Chains A and B, each alone.
Chain A
Amino acid sequence: MVAATAFAVAAGYTVAAVPAHAAIPTITVWVDAPRLPGAKLYAQIMKGKVNVNVELHAQGDLVAKVALFNRVKKGWPDVVFGPPNDVSVLRDANDAMQLDGLASPTFWKDIANGNNWCKGSDGHYYCVKNDMAQTVLWVNTKLVKQFGYSIPKTMTDFAAIGADIAKNHPGYSLGALGDQGFYAGYLWPSQCPVNAATSATSVRIAPNDPHCTRATALVQPMLDSGVLSPSAGWDADFIKDYGSTDKVVMTIGPTWYGDFVIRPASSWNVPAGEITAYPMPKWPGEKVAYSGEYGGGIYTVSPHSKFPKEALAFAQFMVTDKRNIVDVVNPDGSHGAPTFPSTNSGNALWAAKTNADTYYSPSPFPAMLTQFPLIYTGEKPVSYDANGAWSIFSNELKKNKNAQAALAAYDAYTTNLAKQLGYDVKQN
């Protein structure tokens, strides 16, 4: 009898709750400027089904704002686009929802290659990767032909080309190491433990590991000869000396390097028909030619969201739907998602767009696809500002032109940052 009453009450409650469910769900979405057209399009598409409030926020805003929202216990957005480390920061504050149950297994299978970053040490997903920034070898085919080089298969070949340029073609370049250039292009693919978190409270930062020293030793002669620059690829001096004068023979860089650094008129402005990409060269003795990653944003869903499924659906739209990946009109007149999508279905759609682009010759997409599942997974999200600290590395590298010393300076800084947050730091 009691049980029956309880059931009736429960049933009555459920019935009473139905109208509330029938009301249109409302979600608040935070995106940065490049994601804005897609988000606005999604709001339009969902009109009548889900109210989507799109807000424009700089990527760096999130951590401080969430800390304040936690204080006043309101104001959290439902789903947020942010930089890769946000997932760790937000998980620390219990502010990133576990997402496994909110999307179909088909979706998780579709994104499996691209979402390792978001997988916690417990095996669950806490974010959805928006785009992939795996490094590839960007090649200027005109210069390679002119100098009679072949495409390097190993980093030793790459260094040999560097030595030849220094000797026979001074003034030409193999790229820039500043900002995260050395990290994403050399240290990470070489499996150097830079921010190798093993759990939420322990991280390995070991600049003297052989995987690190082989990378610093490889680039040092090229730094000395000026074939590799301590600046970033978009620094004024690099653009002036190498980029805009079409003197970069090849460079290791992320998937977005072509469209955002090599091509734009305000940047290197390399003429059409010269640029393509090849898979990463292997480090000596390795079986796999790993990539590092240079950026690649993520979506996180707030545990305070009343409609987490609808919130995640927005992220799914952004990484799988043709209307965002191919069709959406950007403010500069271009179409589609600006960067390599994280899902198999998404990047298959994106392939057509890139392959049809006559700027590249041939298309860089096959190399990107090869490297897509090969991002080395030893580097993990961390809660300290590991990305901001690369400015320390760049400054040190510019000053002393010593790769190992600059890495040591970076590592000393992040070790201090990590310890402050209570990380147990292993240094060898």
Chain B
Amino acid sequence: MAKIKKAKQSNTAMWIMLSPYLFLLVSLGVVPVIMAIAEIPTKARNNRNGGWGVIGKVIHDFRLVPAAEHMLGFVAIFVPLTIVFVVMMALMLDLNTSKWKKYIRVAYIIPASISGGVAVLVWYIIFEPHFSPFKPFLRLFGIKRSDQIWQTSHLVWIFAIMAFFTIVGNWILIQYGSLQSISGEVIEAARIDGCSSYQIALRIKLPLIKKYIIYMAVLVFAGGLQLFVEPQLLDTGVFQGISHVWSLDQLSYDFAFTNGEFGSASALSILLLIPSLIGALIVIFKTDMFEDEESAARKERKQARKALEALEAQKAVTK
């Protein structure tokens, strides 16, 4: 009897703790999605009689494939670049034991405080041969005129650089945090077994934070697909026409606010939700990101043991 009561109590506590999140999830997540789906078949200029056929029209829109290509090109540069750089820097920061560490951490976070909109301006100035503080460096590559920089074909690189510097500092600190969670015993044991710092980083630390890296990869990818502010600002504010409907979110925006075709905009938004949802599902089910502590700790110990065993086995072989 007492047991049932206790279970009930913890149930209520759970709901109380969950309710603020549930409220936000329903009001800002579920309801808008349902509204967007309901919006799709409404009448608009490109869908005079209404109906779901507009989804086909959106898929066959002449701007969709180029925009999707731009986005894929962009994430193909941006995601690997971010992951490799973040992991490298986090591992190095974890190694560094000097007193400068906290200042270095601050140095990492500062570029991250520059949000998308500001980043466009900052990078415009950096790249623009007339204004750039790195003029001599640009000259080195023979870049003297602005049209050598601002070309549609260069945009995947330009936006990748902008997005990279905006988020990389944050992620370095997060991954540094995940490295801190590795128990000192494991590292100690590895060291006693004769691992070099390099081996510890690659063979002990890296496998142990693998799930955090996958988590980062999925979030960075999903975030990258939603690129909007940078191309939109560049097109309207800096170089007219250079990135007109360049990204998928811009296309959705153009449907809604240039043409008043809210159904098409909703259809595209829902289509864009799919890759992000798949990403979320991968994080939840294919990584152990959301396992409870006990089983996670158990797994971690097991993994560490395995890694050590593998190392020892290797040593035995080399001997």
Question: Would you call B260 and A179 a contact (CB within 8 A)?
Answer: no
Set of chain B residues within 8 Å of A393, measured between Cβ atoms: 241
Name the contact of A416 in the complex, choosing from B48, B62, B242 (C-beta under 8 A): B62
Question: Would you call B45 and A383 a contact (CB within 8 A)?
Answer: yes
Question: Would you call B260 and A422 a contact (CB within 8 A)?
Answer: no
Q: Does A395 contact B (CB under 8 A)?
A: yes
* Assembled-state Cα–Cα distance A383/B42 (Å): 19
CB distance from B266 to the nearest CB of A (A): 12
Set of chain B residues within 8 Å of A93, measured between Cβ atoms: 45, 260
Set of chain B residues within 8 Å of A392, measured between Cβ atoms: 241, 244
Closest to A389 in B: B244
Set of chain B residues within 8 Å of A179, measured between Cβ atoms: 240
What 0/1 pattern do residues 131 to 158 of A give for CB contact below 8 A with B? Answer: 0000000000000000000000000000
CB contact under 8 A between A395 and B241, given known A71-B42, A92-B45, A421-B46 = yes
Question: Would you call A395 and B258 a contact (CB within 8 A)?
Answer: no
Set of chain B residues within 8 Å of A232, measured between Cβ atoms: 240
Q: Does B134 contact A (CB under 8 A)?
A: no
* Assembled-state Cα–Cα distance A393/B241 (Å): 8
Q: Which of B73-81, B146-154, B170-178, B268-276 contacts A (4 or more CB under 8 A)?
A: B146-154
B interface SS class: loop
* Assembled-state Cα–Cα distance A202/B147 (Å): 37
Question: Would you call A391 and B240 a contact (CB within 8 A)?
Answer: yes
What 0/1 pattern do residues 19 to 52 of B give for CB contact below 8 A with A? Answer: 0000000000000000000000010111010000
CB contact under 8 A between A394 and B240, given known A63-B258, A63-B259, A399-B147 = yes
* Assembled-state Cα–Cα distance A398/B239 (Å): 10
CB distance from A231 to the nearest CB of B (A): 10
A interface SS class: helix
Question: Would you call B262 and A395 a contact (CB within 8 A)?
Answer: no
Q: Does A385 contact B (CB under 8 A)?
A: yes
Closest to A388 in B: B258
Interface size on A, residues (CB 8 A): 32
Question: Would you call A395 and B46 a contact (CB within 8 A)?
Answer: no
Question: Would you call A420 and B42 a contact (CB within 8 A)?
Answer: no
CB contact under 8 A between A395 and B242, given known A63-B258, A67-B262 = yes
* Assembled-state Cα–Cα distance A395/B242 (Å): 6
Interface size on B, residues (CB 8 A): 26
Select the residue from A67, A388, A390 with max chain B CB neighbours within 10 A. A67
Closest to A419 in B: B62
Q: Does A237 contact B (CB under 8 A)?
A: yes
**CB under 8 Å from chain B, chain A span 337-396:** 383-385, 388-396
Name the contact of A395 in the complex, choosing from B61, B63, B240, B256 (C-beta under 8 A): B240
CB contact under 8 A between A237 and B241, given known A420-B46, A422-B46 = no
Set of chain B residues within 8 Å of A422, measured between Cβ atoms: 46, 48
CB contact under 8 A between A64 and B257, given known A383-B45, A391-B241, A421-B45 = yes
Select the residue from A385, A391, A394, A416 with max chain B CB neighbours within 10 A. A391
Q: Does A66 contact B (CB under 8 A)?
A: yes
Closest to B243 in A: A395
* Assembled-state Cα–Cα distance A393/B242 (Å): 10
Given contacts A395-B239, A395-B244, 11 further A-B contacts (CB under 8 A): A63-B258, A64-B257, A92-B45, A178-B240, A385-B259, A394-B240, A398-B147, A399-B147, A420-B46, A420-B61, A422-B48
Q: List 18 A-B contacts (CB under 8 A).
A: A60-B257, A64-B257, A64-B258, A66-B260, A67-B44, A67-B262, A71-B262, A178-B240, A237-B146, A389-B244, A394-B241, A399-B151, A416-B62, A416-B63, A420-B46, A420-B57, A421-B45, A422-B48
A contact residues vs B (CB 8 Å cutoff): 60, 63-64, 66-68, 71, 89, 92-93, 178-179, 232, 237, 383-385, 388-396, 398-399, 416, 420-422
User: 9 tightest A-B contacts by CB?
Assistant: A391-B241, A67-B260, A395-B241, A391-B240, A416-B62, A64-B257, A63-B260, A64-B260, A394-B241
